[in-house]
Structure 1
Amino acid sequence: MNYYLGIDIGGTNLRAAILDNEYNLIDKFKIDNIVEKGADYNVDNLIKIIREKWNTYNIQAIGVACPGPLDIRNGVIINPPNLKGWEGFEIKKYFEERFKLPTTVNNDANVAGYCEAKIGTAKNAESAYYITLSTGVGGGFVYKNEIINGFNNIAGEVCNMIINEDEYSHAGLNAGGLEGQCSGVSISRIASKKLGQELTAKDVFDRAKDGEVNCREVLNEWSINLSKAIANIITIVDPEVIVLGGSVILNNSNYLEKLINEVKLRVFNNINVNIKLAKIGDDAGLLGAGILASCLK
């Protein structure tokens, strides 16, 4: 039996998993990412545990999921906001030199979408577009079992898509951009400003459920803005299925029907709008990285 490593690099944790060639999860673990100590220190800690735990497995390849922006072709971390001090880290080369195994690196949203396309909600679909709605907003497009990266490695990255005329610019992205309007952080920001008090995204959804008019208005606008982005995606790449993941939507799945109806108002008449919730959950990026490793030649 052959086995594959999946690595998920996050600002809080580093996670590793080992999968067999039928994509079964054999084992996994996580360690704290002490970001300020740098990439070498943290990745070395991860590698040490991998070698201790899984040294008897016939590992063939490694897949790594990282937050962007990335140089995907060369496997280099560029400057993710939650990995300060890791800029320019050649993570692909680092793993290859230490394990003497082929390694592939890709954006964490792409990899999570790949997992959903291979073993999750979009399994057997010709094309799948994945959108994660959490603290931020990410996206990835999978076509015929391949991640579409694009020339600049940003294909599918919907966070910067302009969806309204709001002047607010989030983290250097476009004013009126999707992440600045529809992420969990943005729901919190918009509602807090509207109500004059600090609210979390969870507070907003809870209050809307209890009938709070202002919170309902915020979430109605959120649904409209998100539906614009989804409608634009459908118009451009016409995916067989759109998969929505991330805590914002998975914890508030009652909004799915409204989103579908809003999207239908913004696309050509009589086309199939196929929007589903993600199935794999928090391990999508981790498992997807292992699955991606199994595709290395």
Structure 2
Amino acid sequence: MSLSVEKYWIGVDLGGTNIRVGLFDNEGVILREQKELTEVDKGPAHVIHRLETMIDKVKGSNRIQGIGIGMPGPLDPYEGVVLNPVNLTGWDGIPLASIMNDYYNVPCYIENDCNVAALAEAVEGAGKGYPIVFYITVSTGIGGGLCINREIISGATGNAGEIGNIIVKENGILHSYLNPGSMEGMASGTSILRMAREEGLDIQQAHEVFLVAEEGNPIALEIVETTVDALARGMAAIAHVIDPYIFVLGGGVALSVPGFVDKVRDRFEQYIYQVMRGKIKVELAQLSDAGMIGAMYMIRKKMEGQDR
């Protein structure tokens, strides 16, 4: 009788502020984890060395099967190359997957952070049990990820789910390099905060606008209306193409505002076909470690696909 060999996996959530690294067993249980500041201002070489040190600590003497990394785009998930994300200064054409592969001699894959979060929510979060899951993060920016049958859909260029550039308002706010009136320009935490400060509201964080709106402040109410409407329009555009079973909303703004999902769901229903109303769920994300968990599932799925 043969004995099964325990397998171990590394999941990484590499962000502009923090790096989180976890060691998982083959059941998807996290055994050890570590969180440290990214220190992106010290350059890619420093961050990569920091990441290697963290992985060494969490894996210990365990032999790992592979490393999955979720991180901000743009990136090329097929070649494993980071393509100069806005919040990772200096990361222009960094072949991160091959660097990690060479160092550990195990497969390493990188993927957009929203895509791996979508996978985590599809496998064991709010989207569990649904064939088509679309994840949206409403945070500093707006991002998205699509999973069909618990598989990430990356698209031809690796940019499937990059919904922040969808135009939701003609002649709307110009934000960063995106289209004027983009979802990110009209509904991200950064844009909410900018709109509030331009109108003289004394707030420090985007979610505070919703609290002030609850008190009846007309300026805050108008900003909330702009935000909710922009999200709902973008989601309706996605729904008419993808027709997901569920939208999962995550990110700092979505998770910190009471009743946020209800507001967005109600407006979203107004913009979709009548026959679709009441049939597409809109729910809050359930997992606090979605980036790290999703990165682990991503590498496992890549490896399992190669073994077929």
Q: How does 1:146-165 map to 2 (within 5 A)?
A: 146-165=151-170
2:260 matches 1:255: yes
Q: Deviations over 1:231-257 (max 9, x none)?
A: 111101001111000111111141222
TM-score of the superposition, structure 2-length normalised? Answer: 0.92
Q: 2:297 is matched with which residue?
A: 291
- Give the Å deviation of 1:229: 0.6
Counterpart Cα distance in 2 of 1:20 and 1:198: 43
Structure 1 residue 202, shift from structure 2 partner: 2.9
Secondary structure of the corresponding residue to residue 101 of structure 1: coil
The 3 A distance-change label for structure 1 pair 53 and 228 is: closer
Alpha-carbon distance in 2 for matches of 1:268, 1:178: 21
- Within 5 Å, which residues of 2 pair with 1:78-97? 78-97=83-102
Which residue matches 1:49?
54
The answer on 1:9 being equivalent to 2:9 is no
Aligned to 1:29, what secondary structure does the other structure show? strand
State how far apart, in whole Å, the 2-side matches of 1:23 and 1:170 are: 38
Q: Displacement, 1:60? A: 0.8
2:199 corresponds in structure 1 to: 194
1:123-144: CA deviation from partner (whole Å, max 9, x where unpaired): 1210100000001110010011
With 11-20 and 60-69 compared, the bigger mean Cα shift is at 11-20
The equivalent of 2:281 in structure 1 is 274
Q: 2:3 — aligned with what?
A: none
Aligned to 2:71: 66
* Deviation of the 1:187 alpha carbon: 0.8
* Distance in 2 between residues matched to 1:242 and 1:253, nearest whole Å: 18
Greater Cα shift, 217-226 or 168-177: 217-226
Aligned to 1:265: 270
Q: 2:94 is paired with a residue of what secondary structure?
A: coil
Structure 2 gaps, min length 5: 1-5
CA contact (8 A) 2:186 2:226 kept: no
Deviation at 1:170? 0.9
Q: How far 1:36 sits from its partner (Å)?
A: 2.8
Counterpart of 2:35 (choices 18, 21, 30) is 30
Give 1:276 deviation, angstroms: 0.7
| Alignment partner of 1:222 out of 209, 224, 227 | 227
Query: Secondary structure, in 3 states, of the residue corresponding to 1:270?
Result: helix
Mapped to 1, the partners of 2:232 and 2:172 lie a distance apart of 20
The answer to whether the Cα contact below 8 Å between 1:6 and 1:286 also exists between their aligned partners in 2 is yes
Q: For residues 170 and 60 of structure 1, what CA distance do their matches in structure 2 show?
A: 41
Distance 1:96 1:236 in 2: 37
Which of 106, 126, 144 is matched with 2:149 structurally?
144
> In structure 2, what is the Cα distance between the partners aligned to 1:63 and 1:90?
14
Q: Which residue of 1 aligns with 2:107?
A: 102
Task: State whether residues 96 and 103 of structure 1, in contact with CA within 8 Å, keep that contact through their aligned partners in structure 2.
Answer: yes
- Could you say if the C-alpha distance between residues 195 and 165 of structure 1 is closer, same or farther in structure 2, counting changes exceeding 3 Å? farther
Partners in 1 of 2:58 and 2:21 — Cα distance?
11
Offset at residue 197 of structure 1 (A): 5.5
1:199 shift after superposition: 5.4
Q: Secondary structure at the match of 1:164?
A: coil
The runs of 4+ residues in structure 1 deviating greater than 6 Å are: none
**Relative contact order, higher structure (CA 8 A, sep 6+):** 1
Please give the secondary structure, in 2, of the residue aligned with 1:206. Answer: helix
Percent identical among aligned pairs is 34
Cα distance change on mapping 1:203 and 1:145 into 2, 3 Å: closer
Q: Is the 8 A contact 1:31 1:46 kept in 2?
A: no
Distance 1:25 1:211, change over 3 A: same
**Residues 87-115 of structure 1: CA deviation (Å, up to 9, x unaligned):** 11110001100111011110001111111
How far is the alpha carbon of 1:196 from its aligned partner? 6.3
- Partner Cα separation in structure 1 for residue 54 and residue 177 of structure 2: 37
Q: Deviations over 1:146-192 (max 9, x none)?
A: 11111121111100000002342111100000001000111111222
Contact 1:7 1:290 in 2 (8 A): yes
- CA 1:199–1:54 in 2, change beyond 3 Å: closer, same or farther? closer
Is this contact kept in 1: 2:187–2:231, CA < 8 A?
yes
